[in-house]
């Protein structure tokens, strides 16, 4: 496992929490969640399909795509999660410091080890946009 892949996994460990909180807030008025990890939401789409609840699965998938787009990344970011989870399982044999600048530079360079998971990584790494002021606020 190379440094780019290790940094990708570290991004999940160090940066996923705020993205999960934002996803749960985004889904608050819908019959899905709350989730502890982004991968739970992606897996729920698969579970719903397996149970024959295609309409609910399609609804959740569309909401996950809307959430990804609202964060400024590709709409299919959640479909990259299985590949990222596979990297997480590989990582346990390695330890090193997390280097976000290096990871972002490798994503921007189009590192082939990261290309299939670049959107979900940026979803995790990228800070959320500033909150819009509430209507009627001062």
Band of pLDDT at residue 128, cut at 50, 70 and 90: confident
pTM over 0.85: no
Instruction: Count how many domains the chain has.
Output: 1
Q: Is residue 138 situated within a structural domain?
A: no
Q: Is residue 7 situated within a structural domain?
A: yes
Q: Is residue 65 situated within a structural domain?
A: yes
Burial of 106 (0-12, 13-18, 19+ CB in 10 A): buried
The residue segments making up the domain with residue 29 are: 3-125
Q: Which of 6, 5, 25 is nearest to 96 (CA)?
A: 6
- Write the pLDDT tens digit of every residue in 38-78: 999 999 999 999 999 999 999 999 999 999 999 999 999 99
Q: Which structure tokens are listed for 29?
A: 């008025």
Q: Is residue 133 situated within a structural domain?
A: no
d(C-alpha 74, C-alpha 66), whole Å: 10
d(C-alpha 113, C-alpha 116), whole Å: 7
d(C-alpha 98, C-alpha 73), whole Å: 22
Q: Is residue 131 situated within a structural domain?
A: no
């Amino acid at each position: 496992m190379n440094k780019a892949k290790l940094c990708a996994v570290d991004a999940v460990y160090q940066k996923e929490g705020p993205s999960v909180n934002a996803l749960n807030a985004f889904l608050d008025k819908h019959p899905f969640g709350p989730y502890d990890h982004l991968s739970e939401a992606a897996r729920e789409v698969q579970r719903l399909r397996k149970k024959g609840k295609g309409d609910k699965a399609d609804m959740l998938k569309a909401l996950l795509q809307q959430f990804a787009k609202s964060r400024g990344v590709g709409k299919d970011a959640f479909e990259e999660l299985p590949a990222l989870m596979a990297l997480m399982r590989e990582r346990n044999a390695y330890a090193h410091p997390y280097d976000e600048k290096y990871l972002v530079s490798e994503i921007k360079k189009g590192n082939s080890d990261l290309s299939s998971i670049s959107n979900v990584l940026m979803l995790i790494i990228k800070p959320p946009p500033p909150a819009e002021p509430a209507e009627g606020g001062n």
